[in-house]
Chains A and B, each alone.
Chain A
Amino acid sequence: MPSDNDASLVRVQWGSLVSAIAKRQDRAAFAALFEFFAPRIKAFMQRSGASEAKAEELAQETMLAVWRKAALFDPASAGAAAWIFTIARNLRIDAHRRERRGGVIETSDVEIEFQIDDSPQPDALLATTQSEERVRSALTKLSDDQMRVVELSFFEEKAHAEIAEILEIPLGTVKSRLRLAMSRLRNLLSEIS
């Protein structure tokens, strides 16, 4: 993990880098985002079971999508990191589907499967009370064990069984630990600061 002392400063800039791409197709902004995010997206894909070459390809595709979709980024509803995560997640799902179809590429529908309604405004309003900052501070309140299951739950379809193996604990323990971690997280998020 990088030990950026000015991590919070960098975080603020990511959003404005995406906006710079949207407003003036700023290639320097893109290069800066690429430098930070591409290697992490690649790690994310590898942790999710993709080969090195596939993970590299998916990291590049995700960054290309960041460039193309920059105008859709809404700083009021999500942080840049969360937004980039959702693009990577959708491409990972898409890649799984293509694999099962024997490599046939079809236009992906993944994105609309996560657009649950046509009126995102009420969400955006609520989102401000659950800002990135708030989510981050809630995460710091989880125990290390809880944080590990939360982290690992993002990676694979067979998430629970795999977590059990990695952490060398019974599957039931993983499930109960994850359940506890998630309800703790929900409580922390709904607390009024």
Chain B
Amino acid sequence: MSIEHHPTDSMLAAFAAGTLDHGQHVVIATHLLSCSQCRTFMRSIEKVGGEVLTGLSPASMSNDALAKVEARLNEPVRPAAADTAPTVPETEVPGLPKFLRRYRFGNWKWIAPSVHLRPIILPYASETRVFLLKSGPGTKMLEHTHTGIEMTCVLSGAFSQDGGHYGPGDFDLGDETIDHLPVVESGQDCVCLVAMQGELRLNGLIGRIIQPFVRL
């Protein structure tokens, strides 16, 4: 199965430039893990970074800058922290990059019939909230609008949207101008990694009823 839906070129470029919000970085990294095509483009943007760097007009360094650094070359290097065991093994949630599996994951919470949410606690301040969203086969994902950007990467299962098929590795972007209504395909649960910026507003009757209980 091949990946059909990708982040935009400018999102991949922002990833390589290191200017993405951490929550969004996490979702793009997850897509990159399964998409070698986007990975290649991202790596060439790093080369563009090298070109931009070498093309800058130099700032003047302090007179003793080189001497100061040379004096430190023989300093012992602190060994890198030992790899901590992943909190969420690949077998439990497939398709996550290694670094993400070491973050703290909250518990699954029920948010609507056959829809569950599991928050991921980011170690750094972020403008986006990141969570796993699990929806049962045939579920219409909650109709909602948001004030910011929402990035989604499918981890397992699949959903359909606007005639398109979204399977593992596929990426989807939502913003205030897009009115998405994804429906989970039959057969198995669909688990997505989502980074959501801004406030979530659930639409529809059920949404309005459960809104006060859903702390997103």
Interchain Cβ contacts under 8 Å between A and B, 30 examples: A1-B55, A1-B57, A30-B70, A36-B54, A38-B66, A43-B58, A44-B56, A52-B59, A59-B65, A60-B69, A64-B69, A64-B73, A81-B47, A85-B49, A89-B18, A90-B18, A97-B125, A107-B80, A109-B123, A114-B29, A123-B36, A123-B43, A126-B36, A126-B43, A127-B43, A130-B40, A135-B44, A153-B17, A159-B19, A183-B9
- With A39-B58, A56-B61 known, 19 other A-B pairs at CB within 8 A are A11-B54, A35-B66, A37-B53, A43-B56, A44-B53, A77-B43, A79-B50, A81-B54, A90-B18, A117-B33, A117-B97, A135-B44, A139-B48, A150-B48, A153-B17, A154-B17, A154-B52, A159-B14, A178-B10
Per a CB cutoff under 8 Å, which of A59, A85, A113 touches B61?
A59
Residues in B lying within 8 Å of A, measured CB to CB? 8-10, 12-14, 17-19, 21, 25, 29, 32-33, 36, 39-41, 43-44, 46-62, 65-66, 68-70, 72-73, 77-78, 80-81, 97-99, 123-125
Residues A60 and B65 in contact, CB atoms below 8 Å apart: yes
Per a CB cutoff under 8 Å, which of B29, B36, B48 touches A113?
B29
Residues B54 and A40 in contact, CB atoms below 8 Å apart: yes
A66 to B81, CA, bound (A): 19
A66 to B164, CA, bound (A): 45
Residues B53 and A113 in contact, CB atoms below 8 Å apart: no
Query: Residues of A contacting B8 with CB < 8 Å?
Result: 179, 182
Query: Residues of B contacting A56 with CB < 8 Å?
Result: 61-62, 65
Residues B53 and A85 in contact, CB atoms below 8 Å apart: yes
Q: Interface size of A by Cβ–Cβ distance < 8 Å?
A: 80
Asked whether A116 and B48 contact (CB < 8 A) given A46-B59, A153-B13, the answer is no
Chain B CB within 8 A of A167 CB: no
Residues A42 and B48 in contact, CB atoms below 8 Å apart: no
